[in-house]
């Protein structure tokens, strides 16, 4: 099996430690977060807590595609994280990635970044409307998203669990995670508003985000709200239709 790795600020000691972590990933480390699709674990790296994401081995067709035609999820995560850092957009500091391949197939890959101990994610805003300064955080998140769009960043997985939030009095910092699906290009109005469609099912939150985005962009509130709510409803319909289809196929 061939190993490919790329590590920031590489030193012989750091490279050796990371090699050991990846080699013993299955039997060491502290599991962190949702383990359903991919595996995330925390490790100590010279006194620094790091987050290592092991991507699930793809199906055979994608093993061929990732081997010869496409960048791996780990490589994209690393490269996109560095682009976000260059744009002064919050994301856990990227450290490196590893890939393992055979002569004809892509197998496993790992993305490594610094661990951030956040206060909450966007998801908590959708489940706890009594969270302190709920509306202020939601408006700050909307301004953060507007800045993403202004900097030509289209975060395709802009969903509830993929934005970490740090709260420091009235200051809020936002960090994007799960970065392997992004585009860097100018965004038209419809694409910008559709980017909010996966975040919440609550109309009251859509109203607040529409109001704040209107203030940031100078666009008409009613136009923004109508499109944002329509895109949200369309996404929910597609999501539940897909789930119903999966259940039918299962049985």
User: What is the tens place of the pLDDT at every residue in 47-97?
Assistant: 999 999 999 999 999 999 999 999 999 999 999 999 999 999 999 999 999
Q: 179-233, pLDDT tens digit by residue? A: 999 999 999 999 999 999 999 999 999 999 999 999 999 999 999 999 999 999 9
Q: Supply the pLDDT for residue 36.
A: 73
The listed CATH number (1.10.150, 1.10.510, 1.10.10, 3.40.50) that belongs to domain 120-246: 1.10.510
Chain segment 3-61, per-residue pLDDT in tens: 999 999 777 788 999 999 999 999 999 999 877 789 999 999 999 999 999 999 999 99
pLDDT of residue 242: 76
Mode of pairing for the β-strands spanning 153-155 and 163-168: unpaired
The domain spans of the chain are: 2-114, 120-246
- DSSP letter for each residue of 37-101: SSEEEEEEETTEEEEEEEEPPPPHHHHHHHHHTS--HHHHHHHHHHHHHHTT---PPEEEEEEEE
CA–CA separation, 162 and 125 (whole Å): 13
Higher pLDDT, 248 or 39: 39
CA neighbours within 13 Å on the CB side: how many for 239?
12
R_g (Cα) of the chain, nearest Å:
20
Q: Across the strands, what pairs with 187?
A: none
> Which residues have a Cβ under 8 Å from the Cβ of 104 and sit 6 or more positions away?
64, 67
Please tell me the predicted confidence (pLDDT) of residue 248. 67
pTM of the entire structure? 0.92
Query: What residues have CB less than 8 Å from 59, skipping those under 6 apart?
Result: none
* CATH 3.30.200 describes domain 2-114: yes
């Amino acid at each position: 099996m061939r190993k490919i790795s790329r590590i920031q600020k590489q030193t012989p000691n750091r490279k050796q430690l990371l090699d050991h972590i990846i080699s013993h990933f299955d039997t060491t480390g502290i599991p962190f977060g949702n383990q359903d699709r991919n595996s995330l674990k925390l490790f100590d790296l010279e006194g620094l807590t790091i987050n290592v994401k092991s991507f699930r081995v793809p199906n055979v067709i994608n093993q061929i595609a990732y081997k010869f035609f496409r960048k791996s999820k780990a490589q994209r995560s690393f490269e996109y994280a560095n682009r976000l850092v260059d744009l002064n957009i919050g994301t856990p500091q990227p450290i490196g990635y590893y890939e393992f391949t055979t002569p004809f197939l892509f197998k496993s890959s790992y993305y490594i970044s610094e661990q951030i101990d956040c206060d909450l994610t966007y998801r908590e805003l959708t489940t706890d409307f009594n969270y302190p300064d709920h509306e202020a955080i939601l408006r700050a998140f909307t301004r953060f998203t507007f800045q993403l769009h202004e900097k030509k960043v289209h975060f395709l997985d802009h969903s509830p669990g993929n934005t970490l939030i740090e709260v420091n009095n009235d200051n809020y910092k936002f960090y994007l995670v799960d970065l392997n699906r992004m585009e860097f290009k100018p965004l038209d109005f419809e694409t910008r508003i559709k980017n909010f469609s996966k975040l919440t099912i609550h109309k009251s939150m859509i109203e607040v985000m529409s109001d704040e985005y209107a203030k940031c962009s100078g666009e008409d509130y009613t136009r923004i709200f109508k499109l944002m709510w329509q895109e949200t409803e369309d996404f929910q319909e597609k999501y539940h239709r897909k789930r119903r289809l999966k259940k039918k196929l299962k049985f």
